[in-house]
Structure 1
Amino acid sequence: MTTVPGPPIATGRTAVIYEWIPGQVLKVFTDVLGTEAASLEVRNSEQAFELGITPIRCHGVVALEDGRIGVAFDRLHGAALTTVAERRPYLIPSVARRLAHVHAFIHSTTGQAFRDICDIAVNLLDTEAFAPLTVVERDDLRTHIHAMPSGNAVLHLDFHPLNVFEHGEGLATIDWQSTASGDPAADVAATIVLFTEAEPFPGISTLQRIVYQSVQRLMLRSYLAEYQRLTGIGPDRITPWMTTARVLRLGWLDVESERDALLKRICADTLRSAR
């Protein structure tokens, strides 16, 4: 199927969401990602739908007339949890608790159809993002990652309130491209990195950044407390996964403004674990 999408309705770091046929939207990837990313998103999204951890159905790959590749999805009918919190700041703790409930639900599902998180992270060490590291440093990282606890839970690995929407009478999680299987604590560590170490939005003002980060800190505290209450998983299990979470963030996106800080933290983490 080759055609032209409607007007854009949302823009992210790696894709743009367009109007599509009635009841659907089209996620079009940047040139950097293209066909491989689209195919992976289709496979993971279909599996997530079949497992019942998202109500959003994937309708397959679409080739556009300009050569870009997209993936069609059911249209969402509500606001992202980030938007809910921004509109009514007094609901931030409640929104964070809802986020924790969704994450715990995802982790209650077995994800054997997805790639193992440790295998993904180790493979990323051979990408250009890790070129500044020495051979010894990369070998130490491989050893560290391979030593992490195993697991078979579904891990979203891009789980934050912009990827969870009010939809129908419940909530819907989107963006399953990075999904893996493993220890749930690894996914929580990835969420912590997104909240605390990822660049918020390119081009925002200093004041906007301060406000955004303040809201993020409040939401993260409430989310972590509720997640631990629901699952029993706390800092003792989550903290050891921070290195792997940083490897994933750097290896997948390699955001220039994040690169140096992530590399420093990754190396520092590895030195501590080797002692």
Structure 2
Amino acid sequence: MKLIGQGRTAEIYHYADDLILKLYRTGFSKEAVQNEYRMSQWVYEKGLPVPRAVKQMHHATRTGIVFERFEGTTLLSLMIQQPELLEHLSYIMAATHYKVHMVQDEGDLLPSQKKILEHAMLRVSLFSDLEHERLIHYLSVLPEQRAICHGDYHPDNVMLSKDGEQHCVIDWMTGMAGDPAGDVARTWVILKSGKLPDDAEPAIREGFEQARNLILEQYIAHYVALSGITREQIDAWMLPVAAARLDESLPFSEEEVLLQLVRDRLRLLDETVHTTS
């Protein structure tokens, strides 16, 4: 098989005509692979723009999923290669995300956004018991919804066809049901503090650093205009989303930024309580 791409968790191979194999790295959780397979099938059946999951398979000691191949380029690559199209591409990113959020998990089949965030925050050893307690309480009072949420939505997980007429959302391992504002907050956190993989080309890395703030601002502006969700509603989810992201294997520099963001917001909550009391 021919290797055609790779990421932190998996390698992508040409499998057959119009099919690719996403082969997860050795030791990767089989349960996580099964979750992505089931989630990909489910959202495909709901009519969302996602690649169809054909089958699960094993290759040597590794587990993989065979998907229908989508011929195109990620929005991130296009944004960096063609910065003159950045506003248009940011609109596509926002409109596609909004389309995902318009579908409801009516049968309560998907994992809960709040449960996923809570479990992730509790696993972060950087927080004290008091910080854990305050974060869980803060999360508990946020809105409870059952909209489809991607859980890891960013421009490298959205693809556009060569003719610009079709788009596709990939990597559904973190799919869940919850509040769209929380899913958008996750995108905000990724774009604001995320780092590209170490093996990313220097030109790509530099291009992303130069464009990230503009991508973020335009994406948020378009999403707010399309959805009617306010920036305040999105901002309300920043604290638990940033805290939960610290459960991931992040570069030290990104970890520092997120930990500071969480503690600054907790301190701001304290100040607000003291002011109003």
Residues in 1 aligned to 2:253 and 2:17: alpha-carbon distance in whole angstroms: 38
> In the alignment, which residue of structure 1 is the partner of 2:40?
45
2:92 to 95, 98, 122: 98
Is 1:179 matched with 2:171? no
Residues in 1 aligned to 2:203 and 2:5: alpha-carbon distance in whole angstroms: 23
SS of the counterpart of 1:251?
coil
Residues in 2 aligned to 1:38 and 1:98: alpha-carbon distance in whole angstroms: 28
> In the alignment, which residue of structure 1 is the partner of 2:22?
27
2:78 to 79, 84, 95: 84
Q: Offset of 1:203 from its aligned partner?
A: 5.3
Q: Offset of 1:254 from its aligned partner?
A: 4.1
Percent of pairs identical after alignment?
26
- Check the 8 A contact 2:80/2:208 in 1, yes or no: no
Residues in 2 aligned to 1:79 and 1:211: alpha-carbon distance in whole angstroms: 16
Map Cα deviations across residues 11-49 of structure 1 (whole Å, 9 max, x no partner): 112211111122111112223533111111011111110
2:209 to 210, 213, 217: 213
2:152 to 152, 158, 167: 158
TM-score by length of 2: 0.89
SS of the counterpart of 1:46?
helix
Q: Offset of 1:218 from its aligned partner?
A: 1.3
**For residue 193 of structure 2, what is the amino acid of its counterpart?**
E
CA RMSD of aligned residues (A): 2.0
Residues in 2 aligned to 1:54 and 1:230: alpha-carbon distance in whole angstroms: 18
2:227 to 212, 228, 231: 231
Residues in 2 aligned to 1:223 and 1:192: alpha-carbon distance in whole angstroms: 9
SS of the counterpart of 1:82?
helix
> In the alignment, which residue of structure 2 is the partner of 1:222?
218
> In the alignment, which residue of structure 1 is the partner of 2:136?
142
- Call closer, same or farther: CA 1:204–1:71 in 2, change over 3 Å: closer
Residues in 2 aligned to 1:87 and 1:264: alpha-carbon distance in whole angstroms: 32
SS of the counterpart of 1:53?
coil
Map Cα deviations across residues 172-212 of structure 1 (whole Å, 9 max, x no partner): 11111101111111011011111111112325688764532
Residues in 2 aligned to 1:217 and 1:200: alpha-carbon distance in whole angstroms: 15
> In the alignment, which residue of structure 1 is the partner of 2:113?
117
- Check the 8 A contact 2:120/2:245 in 1, yes or no: no
- Check the 8 A contact 1:34/1:68 in 2, yes or no: no
> In the alignment, which residue of structure 2 is the partner of 1:3?
none
Structure 1 stretches of 4+ moved >4 Å? 203-210
**For residue 132 of structure 2, what is the amino acid of its counterpart?**
R
TM-score by length of 1: 0.90
SS of the counterpart of 2:94?
helix
Residues in 1 aligned to 2:104 and 2:201: alpha-carbon distance in whole angstroms: 42
1:7 to 2, 20, 35: 2
Map Cα deviations across residues 38-86 of structure 1 (whole Å, 9 max, x no partner): 1110111111101111241001221112x01111111111111122223
- Check the 8 A contact 2:186/2:241 in 1, yes or no: yes
> In the alignment, which residue of structure 1 is the partner of 2:56?
61
Is 1:241 matched with 2:232? no
Unaligned runs of 5+ in 2: none
- Check the 8 A contact 2:144/2:178 in 1, yes or no: yes
Map Cα deviations across residues 144-171 of structure 1 (whole Å, 9 max, x no partner): 1111111111111211111111248411
Residues in 1 aligned to 2:57 and 2:26: alpha-carbon distance in whole angstroms: 15
